[in-house]
Amino acid sequence: MSSNTPPNTTDRIRRHLVGLKMPRALEALQTTLARIEQGEVTALEAIEALLGEEYSTRESRRIKMALQTARLSTVKTISGYDFSFQPSLDRNRVLALADLDFVERRQCVHFLGPPGTGKSHLAIALGFEAVKAGKSVFFATLAELVDSMRKAEREGKLRDRVKFLSRYSLLIVDEIGYLPVGSGGGNLFFQLVNACYERCAMIMTGNRGFGEWADIFGDAVVATALLDRLLHHAVVIPIEGNSYRLREHAALIPEHMRTRHALSDPGAAIPIKRRPGRPRKEPIASIPG
């Protein structure tokens, strides 16, 4: 205890910190008082230091809990992405997305490219930035989302599930086109997209162009209805290149499998007929198909 600080004052500060549930500031109190006594910091600087310690601890705890809620178990960062390996990718465009203006505008960001080009990495990294900024985030693969909605439908809780998933500030849908969605999966996904449209931002990653969505979702009408919403306020970022994960074994991969040139025109094959003005939102009961 500082010899210049009355014991009763120090005790009262401790009780205040306990009452305010500031354990990190309480832990740092004695060291801070000693620094004041030694002339290393002023009283004002000491207050700032105590509050800073507590704030940093709380922020770390908040981010950790938010990442768990978002299902972002593996943290990826923009700085951790190797842009030199994918020269086709516009680095400045990706860095601009990290400002999160697209979340405020409730836009949909599409990362399209062959497997291993870093689509999921960038999607997770943007989700991490959103979590740090205090935005609510949820991450899942398309297959996981459809399975959860199919289960909710069987239990008579589909509307509640759609409402739950569409309440996030940012919904990340990974791996579109990797696995079939099964019978009725396209209709279920449409309900979610329709609920999210112009209400929350979305990020989607896929290894197939938009022209193949009829095959992915098993219905051209559903695919068109999905793209009508998902491309209305969209940022489309194609990534052309080889797999980063297979870079050390590229010689073992046949040449025709190393890149997917079909993604160079991601919007081909399904023309979207735009209605003038703001598109009408259909209720859940009128899902196409």
- Looking up residue 215, the CATH number of its domain turns out to be 3.40.50.300
Share the mean pLDDT of the chain. 85
Nearest residue to 110 via CA among 194, 191, 177: 177
**CA–CA separation, 218 and 183 (whole Å):** 8
**pLDDT, average across residues 188-199:** 97
Whether residues 245 and 121 share a domain: the answer is: yes
Q: Is residue 2 part of a domain?
A: no
Q: Choose the final residue of a domain: 25, 53, 69.
A: 69
Q: pLDDT at position 277, please? A: 46
Whether residues 253 and 165 share a domain: the answer is: yes
Q: pLDDT at position 7, please? A: 67
Q: pLDDT at position 85, please? A: 86
Whether residues 154 and 15 share a domain: the answer is: no
Question: pLDDT band at 234, cuts 50/70/90?
Answer: very high
Answer whether residue 258 shows pLDDT above 60: no
**What are the strands of the beta sheet with 137-141, ordered from one edge?**
137-141, 170-176, 201-206, 108-112, 234-238
Answer whether residue 107 shows pLDDT above 90: yes
Q: Is residue 108 part of a domain?
A: yes
The pLDDT tens digits of the residues spanning 120-162 come to 999 999 999 999 999 999 999 999 999 999 999 999 999 999 9
Whether residues 41 and 134 share a domain: the answer is: no
- Mean pLDDT lowest among 35-39, 73-77, 279-283: 279-283
Whether residues 142 and 246 share a domain: the answer is: yes
Nearest residue to 206 via CA among 103, 115, 98, 105: 115
Q: pLDDT at position 22, please? A: 93
Q: pLDDT at position 284, please? A: 39
Whether residues 83 and 52 share a domain: the answer is: no
Answer whether residue 275 shows pLDDT above 50: no
Q: Choose the final residue of a domain: 42, 69, 96.
A: 69
Nearest residue to 166 via CA among 137, 195, 194, 191: 195
143 vs 246, more confident? 143
Whether residues 167 and 56 share a domain: the answer is: no
- Number of structural domains (the chain) is 2
Answer whether residue 270 shows pLDDT above 60: no
The pLDDT tens digits of the residues spanning 47-64 come to 999 999 999 999 999 999
| Residues in contact with 22: Cβ distance below 8 Å, sequence separation at least 6, in sequence order | 54
Q: pLDDT at position 183, please? A: 84
Q: pLDDT at position 3, please? A: 54
Q: pLDDT at position 240, please? A: 84
Question: pLDDT band at 8, cuts 50/70/90?
Answer: confident
Whether residues 23 and 137 share a domain: the answer is: no
Whether residues 152 and 278 share a domain: the answer is: yes
Question: pLDDT band at 286, cuts 50/70/90?
Answer: very low
Q: pLDDT at position 252, please? A: 45
CA-angle at 238, arms to 188 and 63, nearest 5° = 65
- Mean pLDDT lowest among 113-122, 176-185, 201-210, 263-272: 263-272
Between strands 201-206 and 108-112, the pairing is parallel
Q: pLDDT at position 146, please? A: 96
**CA–CA separation, 244 and 116 (whole Å):** 5
Q: pLDDT at position 288, please? A: 38
Q: Is residue 1 part of a domain?
A: no
Question: Structural domain of residue 143, as residue ranges?
Answer: 71-286
Whether residues 119 and 209 share a domain: the answer is: yes
Whether residues 90 and 50 share a domain: the answer is: no
Q: Choose the final residue of a domain: 47, 69, 91.
A: 69
Whether residues 95 and 235 share a domain: the answer is: yes
